């Protein structure tokens, strides 16, 4: 039976590419996008691929996320919290850091991860523990964070985005501890500097390379390395 991967922010960028590749790799993909009608690349991809099921989901809307989770029948093997926003690369005095933008970044990049995990947690697969190895998991959660949230690699731009990604990585660490008794492994990942709407055209990694690397890293996630913070290439990152 094929495994199931649920991903948020699947409409474009790295999320769209992970959706494409996960389906190619044999996963049933539950591809969540907040604006399905406007995600023409995703709807075109879905028409060509029966393994992809579209779900309309805004990660900041907890009640509707809970309802969507309650309505789906799938068991989920990998939950990928990918949806994210960046409200400007400027520093402290950048006018892009106004309260509504800050609220949106924190609600999406931090609370959005929390709501997604809390809503879909009951769907993470429960396997027969007897057939599991010591490192076996009952499911995996991948949080797409960023090296920009690393305390040791602090920088002078995008302070709100950096703070949100520091929190996303921290949340992944906390969840790894809380969910360990249920044998659910959690990792935080930096996808590279990727040529998407967010990363811009000068970024040095293609969405294809980033998505392939991330999916390979999710394969390696288990109960022995839960709580990991690493890049799409598998480099350990400083918190
Ligand atoms: N690109 C990079 O260089 C880079 C580097 C480090 C980390 N990251 C992280 O990687 C992830 C993907 O980034 P990307 O480069 O693919 O960005 P992107 O091209 O800007 O795409 C972001 C995706 O997130 C979705 N999204 C935003 N707010 C949402 C919400 N409230 N509910 C549901 N979906 C929402 C967007 O949906 P809409 O189309 O509806 O807006 C879009 O599908 C993000 O978490 C980002 O922070 C990216």
**114 in contact with ligand 1, CB cutoff 6 A:** no
pLDDT, residue 136, reads: 84
**17 in contact with ligand 1, CB cutoff 6 A:** no
CA of 165 to the centre of ligand 1 (A): 12
Radius of gyration of the chain (CA): 17
Q: In order along the chain (239 residues), what is the average pLDDT of each group of 10 residues?
A: 94 98 97 94 95 98 97 95 96 96 98 98 74 72 98 96 98 98 97 98 98 98 98 98
- Closest C-alpha among 159, 177, 6, 181 to residue 79: 6
pLDDT, residue 11, reads: 97
Pocket test for ligand 1, best of 38, 83, 144 (most atoms within 8 A of CB): 83
Query: If you write DSSP's letter for every residue of 28-64 in order, what string do you get?
Result: EEEEEES-GGG-HHHHHHHHT-TTEEEEE--TT-HHH
Q: Which CATH number fits domain 4-231: 3.40.718.10, 3.80.10.10, 3.40.50.720, 3.30.300.30?
A: 3.40.50.720
Answer for the pair 213, 186: CB distance below 8 angstroms, yes or no.
no
Answer for the pair 190, 145: CB distance below 8 angstroms, yes or no.
yes
**203 in contact with ligand 1, CB cutoff 6 A:** yes
CA of 184 to the centre of ligand 1 (A): 24
pTM above 0.85, yes or no: yes
CA of 81 to the centre of ligand 1 (A): 10
Give bridge partners of residue 143 from the DSSP assignment. Answer: 81, 188
Hey, where are the domains in the chain? 4-231
CA of 114 to the centre of ligand 1 (A): 16
CA atoms within 13 A on the CB side of 216: 12
Q: In what order do the strands lie in the sheet with 52-56?
A: 52-56, 28-33, 4-7, 78-81, 139-144, 184-190, 229-231
* Residue with CA closest to ligand 1 atom 14: 13
**207 in contact with ligand 1, CB cutoff 6 A:** no
Residues 6+ apart with CB under 8 A from 133: none
CA of 235 to the centre of ligand 1 (A): 22
CA of 26 to the centre of ligand 1 (A): 24
């Amino acid at each position: 039976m094929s495994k199931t991967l649920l991903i948020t922010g699947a409409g474009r960028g790295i999320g769209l590419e992970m959706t494409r590749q996960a389906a190619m790799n044999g996963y049933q993909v539950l591809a969540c996008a907040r604006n399905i009608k406007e995600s023409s690349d995703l709807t075109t991809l879905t028409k060509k691929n029966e393994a992809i099921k579209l779900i309309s989901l805004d990660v900041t809307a907890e009640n509707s996320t809970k309802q969507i989770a309650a309505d789906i029948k799938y068991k989920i093997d990998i939950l990928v919290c990918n949806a994210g926003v960046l409200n400007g690369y400027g520093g402290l005095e950048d006018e892009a850091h106004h309260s509504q933008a800050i609220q949106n970044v924190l609600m999406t990049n931090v609370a959005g991860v929390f709501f997604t995990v809390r809503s879909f947690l009951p769907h993470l697969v429960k396997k027969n523990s007897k057939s599991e190895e010591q490192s076996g998991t009952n499911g995996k959660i991948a949080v797409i964070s960023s090296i920009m949230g690393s305390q040791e690699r602090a920088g002078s731009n995008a302070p709100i985005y950096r703070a949100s990604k520091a929190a996303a990585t921290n949340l992944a660490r906390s969840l790894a501890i809380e969910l360990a008794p249920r044998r659910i492994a959690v990792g935080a990942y930096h996808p590279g500097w990727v040529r998407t709407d967010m990363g811009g055209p000068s970024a040095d990694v293609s969405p294809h390379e980033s998505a392939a690397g991330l999916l390979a890293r999710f394969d390696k996630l288990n109960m022995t390395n839960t709580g990991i913070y690493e890049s799409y290439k598998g480099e350990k990152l400083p918190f």
